[in-house]
Structure 1
């Protein structure tokens, strides 16, 4: 009976859901910005959580009136992120929930607005159980567009009729919107936003971590 109640598939955002990577990305933005402009970078705005690196680069450059160099900053940050790789921290419940899904033979994977190389480095360094993952270079339209989650679900063998039975774990309002637009079930993780904020943004369920979600699914 339990198997019939479980969703058909599970899609994961990466930063803020699977790992805590604020330091990893923050260090790369800071060193790249300093190399390019010889200035200290502005604080990261919460409003840009989950957005594509290009939009984040545009924001940082706009603060100092250098919007025309946003692409240059984006590319340099990507180089620094790989060259000076800072290992992120695995968040609670990742091993438990991926083992559970593997045992139940339920497809799952990652669709992130982070770069593919960062995902690959992190998964390898942390020995995470994810074989299917997509990064920002894999989409024409990153989140909040639905393309990342539609592309991942399709790669996992799902058709559009299955989407309403697929859970999407997200910690950002940007990613929650992408899941909603894809016709899937947004499930919030309160890494950055409160339960109230995530539900207002469209999350149908909210958990403090994947560990809490795993305990819920086991029942």
Structure 2
């Protein structure tokens, strides 16, 4: 792990770190399931987490024994409709949806002249940043459509460091999922995990809550783990 004094940039994941968009994905899939006549259950909702759009649709259709009822073209239309539902829902987001402690942390990073980048797999992240009124903190956003591989591959974090014009060892990446921590570590950057200690055991530094993530706490953790 790097020394705190060598850190010049922070690369953020979006969902689970800055805000929670998973609930909106769930609501959008629920709407589509209702339209398709598929019973929505908690088990189905939990099974969709972290799954691609088309795989999620297949899971919903299978839950209703409808996986063979539609053509590929119809399935593509259903997936597009889900995304439209999702965009409508996130259109109602405001700065009230930012996770606790994040506005103060971003303000502190800016005050100390750290470079900041967003590294989210979501193609909708620029829209979400706008709704949260956080665009001013994220002049640099990795475009996931230009990447060849998704997390846990390190490509998105490697690209983030490149866009910041920093070496990997000068960057800290922040994630809430094991695949994201694997991506940060694979890029040669210092990893911060937000959440469950067991799931995020590979993180260099872990905080239980977003409110615990401050420059003072990060510096202290890096000294302890050095």
Shorter-chain TM range is 0.7 to 0.9
* Alignment CA distance shift 1:10-1:72 (3 Å): same
- Per-residue CA deviation, residues 2-53 of structure 1 (Å, 9 max, x unaligned), is x962522111111111012232221122223333x2323453336x644544
1:143 aligns with 2:151: yes
Seen in structure 2, the aligned counterparts of structure 1 residues 75 and 168 have a Cα distance that, compared at 3 Å, is same
Q: Which residue is 2:197 aligned to?
A: 195
How far 1:72 moved relative to its partner? 4.2
CA distance in 1, matches of 2:18, 2:58: 26
**Contact preservation (8 Å) 1:50, 1:172:** no
Moved more, 86-95 or 16-25: 86-95
Q: Kindly indicate whether the alpha-carbon contact (under 8 Å) linking 1:50 and 1:175 is maintained by their aligned counterparts in 2.
A: no
User: Bigger shift: 54-63 or 204-213?
Assistant: 54-63
Q: 1:8 to 1:25 in 2, by over 3 A?
A: same
1:141-163 Cα deviation digits (max 9, x unpaired): 222222222222211222xxx21
In structure 1, C-alpha distance between the alignment counterparts of 2:161 and 2:57, rounded to whole Å: 28
Partner residue, 1:168:
173
| Cα distance, 1:218 vs structure 2 | 6.8
Q: How does 1:16-31 map to 2 (within 5 A)?
A: 16-31=16-31
**Cα 1:82/1:14, change in 2 over 3 Å:** same
CA contact (8 A) 1:110 1:130 kept: yes
Alpha carbons of 1:63 and 1:208: their partners in 2 closer, same or farther (altered >3 Å)? same
Give TM-score, length-normalised by structure 2. Answer: 0.76
Quick one: distance in 1 between partners of 2:181 and 2:193? 8
Q: Is the 8 A contact 2:10 2:172 kept in 1?
A: yes
Q: CA RMSD in A?
A: 2.8
Q: Secondary structure at the match of 2:118?
A: strand
CA distance in 1, matches of 2:191, 2:162: 17
Rounded to whole Å, the distance in 2 between the matches of 1:34 and 1:102 is: 45
Q: Is the 8 A contact 2:185 2:191 kept in 1?
A: yes
TM-score (structure 1 length as normaliser): 0.78
Q: Are residues 74 and 166 of structure 1, via their aligned partners in 2, closer, same or farther at CA, if it must alter by over 3 Å?
A: farther
CA contact (8 A) 2:38 2:63 kept: no
| Aligned pairs for 1:80-91 within 5 A | 80-85=85-90, 86-87=92-93, 89-91=97-99
Unaligned residue ranges in structure 1 (runs of 5+): none
Q: Does structure 2 conserve the Cα–Cα contact (< 8 Å) formed by 1:53 and 1:113?
A: no
Q: Where does residue 38 of structure 1 map in the other structure?
A: 37
The answer for the alignment partner of 1:216 in structure 2 is 217
Q: Larger radius of gyration, structure 1 or 2?
A: 2
